[in-house]
Every structure is written in C-alpha cells, then in structure tokens.
Amino acid sequence: MNSSSDTVLTTNHSAAASSVKSIEGQIGHGLRKPPRSVAEFEPLLTADEVAKRLNVSTDWVWDHSSRRKPLLPVIRMGDGTLRYRPSGIEAFVDEQERRSALRRRA
C-alpha cells in the first residue's frame, strides 16, 4: 500500500474507534441500549399474534399498547403498525404474574 491509502485507512480506523468509544459512553450512561448480537434477534410479533398468545382480543392489545394500563411493550413502526418482541411479551406476562402474587399476599 502507498502512504495515501495508509493515511486513509488510519483516519477511517481512528474515526471508527472514536465512534465506538462514543457509543460505549452512551451505553455506560444509560442513554443507549447495547447493540444486539445476531443470536439475540427474534422475529417481531403482530398485534394478532400477541392477542392469541395472551388469549385476549386484538382491541385489548391495541388499547394496552398505547393508553390503558398495564402497558404492553410495543415498537411503533414508521407506517404506524405495531410490533412486539416475544421476550417483551413474556416479560410482561411474568410481571403481571408477580403483581398478582403480591396482591394475593396483601
């Protein structure tokens, strides 16, 4: 390689390293979630699929995705459609189960 391409590679590497440090700083301060590894990706669910999983109506899912408590963890897509992570729905079910158990004890 010649010195000009070495300079470009060094500059690009420095910029990338700086960008990584910036992201790491944001993650450390709670401003940004760490990136997901490829193994962590999961297919997103539709409101219909969540309704079937929770044995409720699709209207219930829509209501609890925006205005009624308990709120479902939702991802709003650019075109207004709603999507859900299966792990988020399972965490929601676990939290509702935990709260139910606490109410029984009280």
- Contact indicator for 89, 45 with CB cutoff of 8 Å: yes
pLDDT the model gives residue 8: 45
pTM above 0.75, yes or no: no
DSSP assignment, residue 64?
A: T
Q: In angstroms, rounded to a whole number, what is the distance separating the alpha carbons of residues 82 and 63? A: 12
Q: Where are the domains of the chain?
A: 1-35, 38-105
Residue bearing the bigger pLDDT, 18 or 71: 71
Mean pLDDT of 49-72: 93
Fold exhibited by the domain 38-105: Multidrug-efflux Transporter Regulator; Chain: A; Domain 2 (1.10.1660)
Residue 101: the pLDDT is 87
pLDDT digits (tens, 9 = 90+) for 64-81: 998 888 889 999 999 989
